[in-house]
Structure 1
Amino acid sequence: MIEKKRYHVYIGTYTDQSLPGIWQCSYDSRLGTLKSVDRVSGILNPSYLTVDEKHNRLYAVSESAEGRVVAFDIEGGTGKLSYRNTQSTLGGAPCHLTVDHEGKYLFVVNYMGGNVCLFPILSEGNIGNMSDNVRHYSNVEQQGRQEAHPHSAIVDPTNQFVVVSDLGLDKIIIYKLNREEHKLTFNDEVMERSGSGPRHFVFHPFRKYAYVMNELTSTITAFTYNAEQGSLGKIQTVSALPDSFTGESYGADIHVAPNGKFLYASNRGHDSIAVFKIDEESGVLTNVEYTPTNGRTPRNFAIAPDGNFLLVANQDSDSIVSFKIDQHTGRLKQTDNVIQITKPVCIKFGSVIRE
């Protein structure tokens, strides 16, 4: 029998500043259901969130022409958000952010600004003044096609390196975090095929593999990861779409199940979750199935901490749909659990709710 736990869950959305933008929900781990608890307004397009569970904090971008990042305290017990402070990201359309594993640094990427920002997090939880601002530039071959568009920043398992996927440059750039000077130092880079558009990146939870979702070609590239050197080695590239599909679709989000056996990726247009089995010895992906998301434009999704359910944010049908995960096959089975939220684009699990 599955042990019942409830979690705080936070939903980022596209919304006007005067309307609720961050939704707080409670999640029932036995049923895979979400229930709305509270909403926070006052932020224009809080489209991406990150939770520092260790310190009970939440950080959100304001994805706008004059980008900002906002800090909140998470109140113990209730899980409600209490505003702390905000900082400019010195660039337009911040679309992703994350904290390091110690909760001391915040990394933000600006899609339109083409820059990667580093903020120290002060002891009380405020976002400190920006300590580094790394700009990406197009090279000669890419000028006229696309400018730099960093789309995600992911901290590696050692907490020493930060992996930035740049959709415009078709590059994955790895920076080393210099904690003494509070700076990002270039370490290595990997080129994806021209026109691929690397978007979101994920590390395997316990093996030396990593994967990137390429938005423009709807492909996934698998890598080996050398944690000592902070470098990637390509293994394979596979399509996230079925061979029979001929329509328009763009890759979005990517996650590995907590058990490390399966990888999931979302397709906007095909409106599906692609499921792959991960070979433990090689990291190679083998397709299992493509599951319709029962909604339009699955921009983001999240796997519950126990790995039993997957929640999909369907941006253009204003819904979050729950799917049961088969632990043996990785296949998804749609449940009847749907919650209506306006333009949901990010789902983040918080701490367990103490009963």
Structure 2
Amino acid sequence: MGDRAADEAEHRVHIGSFTSSGGRGITTAALDPVTGALMELSTTDALADPSYLVSGVHIGVVYAVSESPEGTVGAFIGEGRGLRPLGAPVPVGGAGPTHLDVAWPWLLTAHYTSGGVGAVAITEDGSLTGPPQVLQHHGSGPDPARQEGPHAHQVLPDPSGRWVLSVDLGTDSVRICALDEATGTLRTHSETALTPGNGPRHLVFHPDDEVAYVVNELRPLLTVCRWDAEAGRLEPVAEVPLAVEAPSGAVPGGLEEGVRAYPSAAVVSLDGRFVWVAVRGADHLVTLSLADGPEKPRLVGTVDCGGHWPRDLALDFWRNRLYVANERSGDVTWFDVDPETGRPSRAGSLPVPAATCVLLG
């Protein structure tokens, strides 16, 4: 029994969910390293609507955003079979935060509703303290329903650690910012304009650190960009459709007429050979090959996501498995990936109501 408990503690997965839609907050599950299967261990609803999670620098510490009008972040520490709060939630200084990442000693947050990014201080024990530092975005896009103002959807440090990038769906742009390590102040260094109306949502880097891929939500496209860490410059070079050729008379992407495709998240294989993108509406996982080079993704196929509305995608690099948080069907589905073709094959699922993200420990 002791060996099994030690193994469970070593392979933990944390899953965020919308408590306002029937979710249980953060679910902690044990991951079977052989099969990839998940087994629920515990849940905590200590933070409302913890829609996105990230690991801290401290072992066992997890941070979560509360995607709520008041906008807070919470710190948690592993204890027994689950997590317990590490201090009280801290305001982020913006509304509806959707994403967070760590740039030690700061926790970065992206505020979708109010349209900005911020930084909250991380203390020596991993807990959080205010007040937050906030950089407000400005601008809009051509879609009056979704782009009436700025909507920062993601914030992350670049691989070099020199810059912070913020992806704004409302302004069709990615901002490159400098972070003052002493004060947490964010300053805009440059802003990269993407195609108007695309609605950029999520960015991932290729392992060579010189190419980045931007997932667009309002149009099913992947924007390929060159990244210059020395200059802090992001340059768009191509757009790749995230839809397969449909049979004659059918709607592209396999959608019913009038239904739109909303790409949500992407991951890149550790060896830099494949990109996978989750697409809501179509409820697909799209596989793109990078055999022609990092700047030339080639769509090679799609598979069903195993549920409905795949909001997040995570990759177990070492065991070549994908985990998908299907928000509206309320499950996390996992896939084995063929190492030669990159094709995912459904292997199982765990019920998680209103699942929003998957954090592999």
User: What TM-score does the superposition give when structure 2 sets the normalisation length?
Assistant: 0.89
Task: Give 1:224 shift.
Answer: 1.3
2:75 corresponds in structure 1 to 71
1:253 alignment partner in structure 2: 265
Tell me which residue corresponds to 1:130: 131
Match of 1:268 among 280, 284, 287: 280
- Aligned partners of 2:124 and 2:153: how far apart in 1? 28
- Cα distance, 1:327 vs structure 2: 1.1
Structure 1 counterpart of 2:351, from 331, 334, 340? 340
> Matches of 1:285 and 1:173 in 2, distance apart?
24
Q: AA paired with 1:116?
A: V
SS in 1 for 2:99: strand
**Is the 1:17–1:41 Cα contact (8 Å) retained in structure 2?**
no
User: Paired residue for 1:353?
Assistant: none
Cα pair 1:11 1:345 within 8 Å, conserved:
yes
Secondary structure of the structure 1 residue equivalent to 2:328 = helix
- Alpha-carbon deviation of 1:195? 0.6
Asked whether the equivalents of residues 74 and 80 of structure 1 are also in contact (C-alpha less than 8 Å), the reply is: yes
Q: 1:194 aligns with which of 174, 196, 202?
A: 196
The equivalent residue for 1:319 is 331
Q: CA deviation at 1:115?
A: 1.6
RMSD: 2.2
- What residue number does 1:171 align with? 173
Q: Structure 1 residues 235, 54: closer, same or farther in 2, change over 3 A?
A: farther
Instruction: Report Cα offsets for 1:115-150 as digits up to 9, x if no partner.
Output: 211112111212121352110112698889521000
Residue aligning to 2:19? 15
> Could you tell me whether the CA contact under 8 Å between 1:115 and 1:136 is conserved in 2?
yes
Runs of at least 5 residues in structure 2 that lack an aligned partner in the other structure? 1-6, 247-251
Aligned mates of 1:191, 1:299 — CA distance in 2 = 25
Q: Which region of structure 1 is more displaced relative to structure 2, 107-116 or 276-285? A: 276-285
Amino acid at match of 1:91: G
Distance 1:57 1:280 in 2: 39
| Cα distance per residue 1:20-63 (max 9 Å; x no partner) | 31000111122011110111113211111111254321111111
Q: Is the 8 A contact 1:265 1:275 kept in 2?
A: yes
| 2:46 aligned to which of 17, 42, 45 | 42
Within 1, Cα distance between the matches of 2:72 and 2:341? 42
Quick one: distance in 2 between partners of 1:162 and 1:113? 19
1:146 aligned residue: 148
User: 3-state DSSP class of the match of 2:130?
Assistant: coil
Percent identical among aligned pairs is 29
Task: Indicate if the aligned counterparts of 2:22 and 2:353 stay in contact, CA closer than 8 A.
Answer: no
1:83 Cα shift?
A: 3.3
Distance 2:15 2:141 in 1: 40
In the aligned structure 2, how far is the partner of 1:222 from the partner of 1:122? Answer: 37
Alignment partners' CA distance in 2, 1:275 and 1:343: 25
- Distance in structure 1 (CA, Å) of the matches to 2:155 and 2:261: 23
Q: In the alignment, which residue of structure 2 is the partner of 1:228?
A: 230
Please give the alpha-carbon distance, in whole angstroms, between the structure 2 residues aligned to 1:56 and 1:319.
24
Contact 2:65 2:97 in 1 (8 A): yes
* Cα 1:164/1:94, change in 2 over 3 Å: same
SS in structure 1 at match of 2:64: strand
Partner secondary structure for residue 182 of structure 1 = coil
Question: Could you tell me how far apart the structure 1 residues matched to 2:22 and 2:216 are?
Answer: 34
- The CA distance in 1 between the partners of 2:230 and 2:322, in whole Å, is 32
Q: Deviations over 1:272-302 (max 9, x none)?
A: 0111012474521011111111211001111
Q: Secondary structure at the match of 2:128?
A: coil
Task: Tell me which of 159, 162, 166 is aligned to 1:160.
Answer: 162
Change beyond 3 A, Cα 1:267–1:206: same
- Rate the CA distance shift 1:29–1:206 in 2: closer, same or farther, 3 A: farther
* C-alpha distance 107-72 of structure 1, shift in aligned 2 (>3 A): same
DSSP-derived class of the 1:50 partner: strand
Unaligned runs of 5+ in 1: 351-355
Alignment of 1:281-292 (within 5 A): 281-292=293-304
Moved more, 287-296 or 139-148: 139-148
Measured against aligned partners, the alpha-carbon deviations of 1:164-199 in whole angstroms (never above 9, x if no partner) come to: 000000001110112133211211111111110000
Q: How has the CA–CA distance of structure 1 residues 89 and 17 changed in structure 2, closer, same or farther, with 3 Å as cutoff? A: farther
Please give the TM-score of this superposition, normalised by the length of structure 1.
0.90
Is 1:305–2:307 an aligned residue pair?
A: no
Q: 1:272 to 1:281 in 2, by over 3 A?
A: closer
